[in-house]
Amino acid sequence: MIHAVNPILSGFHPDPSICRAGEWFYLANSTFQWFPGVELHRSRDLVHWERLPSPLRRVSQLDLRGDPDSGGVWAPCLTYADGLFWLVYTDAKETRGPYKDVHNYVVTAEDPAGDWSEPVYLNSSGFDPSLFHDDDGRKYVCNMLWDHRPGHRLFAGIVVQEYSVAEKRLVGPARLVYTGTPALGTEGPHLYKRDGAYYLMVAEGGTAYWHGVQLARSKSVWGPYESDPQPLLTAKHDHASPLQRTGHGCLVDTPKGDLFVAYLCGRPVPVGWQQPCPLCRETALVPVEWSPDGWLRMKGVEGVVPPVEFDVDLPEAPVAPESERVVFDAPALPTAFKTLRAPFDDEMGSLAARPGWLRLYGRESPISWQRQSLVARRVQHFACEAETELEFAPECFQQMAGLMLMYDASNFFFLHLTRDEESAQNVLRLSVRSNREFSEPVPGGFVPLGGATRVLLRVRKDVFRLRFSYSLDGAAWTDVCGELDGSHLCDEAYREMKTDGHTGPFVGMSCVDLAGRRIPADFRSFSYRALG
């Protein structure tokens, strides 16, 4: 018996989809504008998770250039059937107005850590698609239906349509089978079957503090579906729960027949209703069981608020921890690293041009939705430290390279080496964008470095308190400008802009050349470690 504590995947790991193949469990998460698409893990005990290569690694599978912040890959669904892994996902191209340009695809693989197929287009009627494999061999795709018409509910309900494997397309009519409960915001559907009855698990209430998981059932895949009298789980009425924003569930069984639901959650600081969640939406797990009246209920829990701690009756199977310090002496980037919208290719950078170093070529600015040169990893701890060693010889003020701490293009910190032409020297500047407002808080505008072209850069994060520093010799460190407030690096900051943010904080290395000369920056190492 393993005693575990939620979340099982900390940091930005939203919209979990979980499945089992033999003794292995596999879990997929949304990645939004980050490339490659879909975060993928595997585990033998549901507690210790090993990161696998992301499935959508080719532009032919996923082209995110131009996708808005918090667009891109939404709510993947991972299943296993017929000796194949099936991955269904949304590429959200436009999300900011009454319309939603959202395109749904399916890819397959025999080995989830290997190459996945080219995508098969499904539909564009709504987002959060999933694939259900019925016991008679037929397959069905379900997704939420988006209705932009005035006077209609935007989240119109769940539609189901049959999928033909032979024809590689949806066939027959798409039928609206479920319109949800008064909680509204019906999305994230998953279909299951038990004792001849079809069960539809959906997310409701929006993905913030009213979030929850709801179940409905029917004698036919086409409905009508009756709603469970109560949600399976939600924390919306318990403002003291340390796990808030709980919802978007997905069911899995163990080889012993035990049942668990993976769901997303947020951990607010301080604990409380609508307090900010520094690590945004994370993945949690809860054991469930069937009640005598045929509904799923959380096991050993009274009510609907999911617990922080839980037990798993499986042999413990630890995995090797990821290295805190990365030296770029391998032919490929570690799987923890991602780029923005575009793949790491010869246009962005190289691991071979200077052996033992990561070279990034200067491209577009941190607010670009097209061609940034940024390699970053998730922030996964409330208190942590990231550090990189940089060598860079800028020729003008438009050329910048350094350490990026980013939520998205509207909210970031960029500590960078650049050129000050008036003083004819290299300098450090700190650019901050907070809810789209730009500032540079370093007194005097910059830190003079003379002719130095090699510098170590560091950021320490304690919840929302940030401290940036630099060193020229790796021994003596100097603060850039004292403690800064990073509370805008979270979903809740978007309330001030009256829009939605659904991603999470990343930290990494960036090179910018607004002069268009593609000047390179070389990074010798990158370190990330938890503090405390």
Domain contains 138: yes
Measured between alpha carbons, how far is 376 from 329 in angstroms, rounded to an integer? Answer: 17
Same domain, 130 and 200: yes
Residue 497 confidence (pLDDT): 61
CB-based burial label for 122 (10 Å; 0-12, 13-18, 19+):
buried
Same domain, 282 and 422: no
Domain contains 320: no
Same domain, 180 and 218: yes
Low-confidence ranges of the chain (pLDDT < 70): 495-499
Domain contains 319: no
Give, in order, the Cα–Cα distances in Å from 514 to each of 126, 300, 373: 37, 58, 12
Q: Which of 284, 312, 340 is the last residue of a domain?
A: 312
Annotation says 15 is catalytic? yes
Q: Which of 84, 63, 167 is nearest to 131 (CA)?
A: 84
Which structure tokens are listed for 334?
Answer: 């570690």
Token pair 């860079």: residue: 392
Q: What is the DSSP string of 303-335?
A: SSPPPSEEEE-S-----PPPPSEEEB-SSS--T
Task: Report the amino acid identity of residue 368.
Answer: S
SS3 annotation, 6-67: CCCECCCCCCCEEEEECCEEEEEECCECEECECEEEEECCCCCCEEECCCECCCCCCCCCCC
Q: How many helices (H) and strands (E) does the chain have?
A: 0, 40
The two beta strands, 454-462 and 325-327, are unpaired
Pick the catalytic residue: 69, 187, 389, 420? 187
Cis omega before residue 36 (within 30°)?
Answer: yes
Same domain, 24 and 151: yes
Same domain, 330 and 294: no
Residue 498 confidence (pLDDT): 60
Same domain, 102 and 226: yes
Which structure tokens are listed for 505?
Answer: 């904080």
CB-based burial label for 204 (10 Å; 0-12, 13-18, 19+):
buried
Same domain, 298 and 388: no
Which structure tokens are listed for 319?
Answer: 């995995």
Residue 97 confidence (pLDDT): 85
**Coil, strand or helix at 494:** helix
Domain contains 371: yes
Same domain, 176 and 62: yes
Q: What is the CATH number of the domain that holds 464?
A: 2.60.120.200
Domain contains 143: yes
Structural element, H or E, at residue 515? none
Q: Which of 278, 312, 346 is the last residue of a domain?
A: 312
Same domain, 361 and 458: yes
Task: Report the amino acid identity of residue 218.
Answer: S
Residue 135 confidence (pLDDT): 97
Domain contains 496: yes
Task: Report the amino acid identity of residue 48.
Answer: H
Same domain, 337 and 201: no
Measured between alpha carbons, how far is 184 from 203 in angstroms, rounded to an integer? Answer: 9
Q: What are the φ and ψ backbone dihedral angles of 154, each rounded to 5 degrees?
A: -60, -45
Residue 411 confidence (pLDDT): 96
Q: What are the φ and ψ backbone dihedral angles of 179, each rounded to 5 degrees?
A: -110, 5
SS3 annotation, 257-307: CCEEEEEEEECCCCCCCCCCCCCCCEEEEEEEEECCCCCEEECCCCCCCCC
Same domain, 350 and 450: yes
pTM of the model: 0.97
Annotation says 187 is catalytic? yes
Domain contains 116: yes
Residue 131 confidence (pLDDT): 98
Q: Are 142 and 222 in contact (CB under 8 A)?
A: no
Instruction: Name the domain count of the chain.
Output: 2
Domain contains 49: yes
Residue 532 confidence (pLDDT): 79
Q: Domain containing 205: what range? A: 2-312
Measured between alpha carbons, how far is 417 from 169 in angstroms, rounded to an integer? Answer: 51
Q: What is the CATH number of the domain that holds 282?
A: 2.115.10.20
Q: Which of 288, 312, 336 is the last residue of a domain?
A: 312
Same domain, 383 and 485: yes
Residue 154 is classified by DSSP as: S
